[in-house]
Chains A and B, each alone.
Chain A
Amino acid sequence: MSSIIIWTVAVITVLGLLLALVLYLVAKKFKVEEDPRIDEVEKVMPGANCGGCGFAGCRAFAEAAVKAPNLDNNFCPVGGNDTMAKVAAILGYEVKAKAPMVAVVRCNGTCGARPKVNEYDGYASCAVKSLLYTGDTGCSYGCLGCGDCVSACQFGALSMNPETGLPVVDETKCTACGSCVKACPRHIIEIRPQGPRGMREFVSCINKDKGPVAKKACANACIGCGICAKTCTHDAITVEGNIAYIDPAKCKLCRECEAMCPTGAIHGVNFPKPLDKDAVKERIKIRQQKAKEAAAAKVKEDKKDE
């Protein structure tokens, strides 16, 4: 009896050792030479494998970063500047710091402002809904409210607000990976710079219908009136196709457009003080008055010179 056990153990051990030797030799013979830096880079990556960088995952990003001549086209939005500095240190490249970004929902068609014109009782998916028709409100551009962006977010940064029916971005969790941007069939989510101390101004509407049509569908819609663009002294606002857009690179956060917007489509977030609309309007009025007077005076002077 005991001899059987001894024999079994002996045979298995010898077999194991032999196979290990074979494996060792094969591994030696067919070893794939790989840049050791790929492993190093992968180690400093966030490991979320979200695909926000445009590659299939963190390893794919690491391989691409090692192969690339510089890091201009490779940026990990999740890790941000810290991670990229580490990657650059490993690879000996220089990296330009990018402004931290955040997802911004460009629809403020709340349930109250945007009345329903029909009931949707199909499958609760924005992609399905947008394929079937223009949605259950009069606005054919705005949020469909089924939460495809919420399920696309791997960081738990998005949630639906049941009161407004719109998605809310948790800025502390958002990594600006862009999954929600891809998931939204209406393209209402934009990745924008976070702004200094998180302060930023943006037009929270993408309705390209003409003013009266947009207004009828949603009380909060941008009607493309252009008052904001006229008010802006920094040339940051463009109105194209009945919709205003604030260029984050040019915006100086003076909040004048926000005060002047007749429908409240322009939103300012994370400002320390609430906006005193009347005061700002007064300020703009005085400035415009002065400008008018100055222009009139100049015309007079020109005439005198003649």
Chain B
Amino acid sequence: MNKNTFAIGGVHPHDNKISRECAIQPLPLAPTVYISVAQHIGAPSVPCVAVGDKVKVGQVIAQPGGFVSAFIHSSVSGTVKSIGPRADLAGRPATHIEIAVEGDEWAEGIDTSDTLVTTIPDDAKAIIEKIRLGGVVGLGGATFPTHVKLSPPPGSKCERVIINGCECEPYLTSDFRTLLEKGEQVVVGAALLKKAMGDVPCTIAIEENKPEAIAHIREVIAKLGYKGIEVMVMKMMYPQGGEKQLIDAVMHRQVGSGALPISVGAVVQNVATALAVYDAVQKNKPIVDNSVTVTGECFPRQANLLVRVGTPLRYIIDYLGGVPEEAAKVISGGPMMGRAVANLDAATVKGTGALLFLTEKQTRRAPESNCIRCGKCADACPMGLEPFLLNKLARAKDWDAMEQNAAQDCIECGCCLYSCPAHIPLLDNIRIGKGAVMGNIRARAAAAKAAAEAAKAAETAKK
């Protein structure tokens, strides 16, 4: 068996997929949902409903607030109770639309049946437009609006679509279950993405720890008879699901610093995104729900749930029997890149993929000691950076030197922190520096743009 992986760095955390046998089951509707208007990268959406309005499932409740933005649809049917600021997972206030649930009535034109639609529309533009109208964003974690990713800038050409089924984060199993239970839909979604990018070849990348999924998807591809879609078995390695790492692993091409994947001819979409694309294009069904893994060694009822967007976390946890006593931390996402939840009253967003419960022993941080120059962090860094150096520079607040050492390329995967025997908070410090460097880069770009515009204006004034 040919096993591929990316060339540099990476770590091998134990995969702990303890919820892999739990089939995805729908979560009963919560009495109230809170739908955030800022659940994607880019401009927040603008609410287009008013308090007191009756909404149906799948109805648009917020319009895109810019080019890089997405439609947001109601995930339930009911009455809009309020539109206002509410604390998100990190406690930061964001505008949420509160909807009191009444029944479960779907908007017109949405096909809620289970029939598989395998005919692929001919028009690539129509596919992308439907994806845009479906509010599809990248569900691998970054929540970048999919239609923007599928509209490459002029001059660049896509050569391969990669469907990311690596799920390299420990504990998470929602993508695995999706591949097993909705393999057909995912493959049709992949075919749609392939069509949208101009009939380029498509690779579905799955890590070797999911043999059932690999076999199933191969079977489905043979059954549906799509040409140009293949499964690639990947060696287990974290962070293989990272966009740039996956492109390296599949195509053996490296995306340059600050460049987009399209610059090497790749478009990467997550398995869940492929499913959302299928729903949006073939069934007219926008993103109203997503599968969430609820897991952890201390959590008695492991589950993969189909959760409506905007469901309060507390409701999900209560449904599964409440927070276990020995749990010390709840993490939204996986243990490597996920963020601790500061506020259990927060609601899920499109990108919420998992709720992970960890005990105090699992989350304990050993005291920091001095760097012993072992270089493990540099070995582990999948971006080829030198975390020990960036850490020092960040502490000295030397942002220029950080930029020279490519701190802006950090993907915050946490491999350096994971591998450091001195328990130095490498990522914590690098993240601060990365923020400052990105700010500098943006400020320079804005200044250059303003200068160019001023020059242009001066020229027209001369004429």
> Which chain A residues have a beta carbon within 8 Å of chain B's beta carbons?
117-119, 121-123, 125, 127-128, 131-136, 140
Contact = CB atoms under 8 A, between A and B. Distances in A.
Contacts of A121: 328-329, 363-365
B339 to A, nearest CB: 7
A98 to B, nearest CB: 27
A123 B428 contact: yes
A123 B425 contact: yes
A133 B364 CA distance: 19
B124 interface: no
21 contacts: A118-B343, A119-B328, A121-B328, A121-B363, A121-B364, A122-B425, A122-B428, A123-B365, A127-B432, A128-B425, A128-B429, A128-B431, A131-B431, A131-B432, A132-B339, A133-B90, A134-B90, A134-B92, A134-B342, A135-B91, A140-B91
A140 B93 contact: yes
Contacts of A133: 89-92, 339-340, 342
What is the interface of chain B mostly: helix, strand, loop, or mixed? Answer: mixed
B435 interface: yes
Contacts of B93: 140
Nearest to B425: A123
Contact of B428 (A118, A125, A134): A125
Q: Which 4 A-B pairs have CB atoms at the shortest separation, nearest pair first? A: A134-B91, A133-B90, A123-B425, A128-B428
What is the interface of chain A mostly: helix, strand, loop, or mixed? Answer: loop
Given A118-B343, A122-B340, A135-B91, 20 more contacts: A117-B342, A118-B342, A121-B328, A121-B329, A121-B363, A121-B364, A125-B425, A127-B432, A128-B428, A131-B432, A131-B435, A132-B90, A132-B339, A133-B90, A133-B91, A133-B92, A133-B342, A134-B91, A140-B91, A140-B92
A149 to B, nearest CB: 15
Nearest to B364: A121
Nearest to A118: B342
B432 A128 contact: yes
Nearest to A182: B397
Contacts of B329: 121
A242 B431 CA distance: 32
Contacts of A140: 91-93
B359 to A, nearest CB: 12
Chain B CB within 10 Å, residue with most, of A117, A133, A136: A133
Contacts of B340: 122, 132-133
A119 B89 CA distance: 14
A132 B435 CA distance: 12
A135 B90 CA distance: 8
A180 to B, nearest CB: 14
A131 B394 CA distance: 14
B36 to A, nearest CB: 15
Interface in B425-452: 425, 428-429, 431-432, 435
Nearest to A185: B432
Contacts of B89: 133
Contacts of A119: 328
Contacts of A118: 342-343
Contacts of B428: 122-123, 125, 128
Contacts of A135: 91
B87 interface: yes
A123 B394 CA distance: 14
B266 to A, nearest CB: 30
A180 B329 CA distance: 32
Interface string B350-381: 00000000000001110000000000000000
A136 B339 CA distance: 14
Contacts of B425: 122-123, 125, 128
Contacts of A134: 87, 90-92, 342
Interface in B322-356: 328-329, 339-340, 342-343
Contacts of A123: 365, 425, 428
Nearest to A135: B91
A134 B93 CA distance: 9
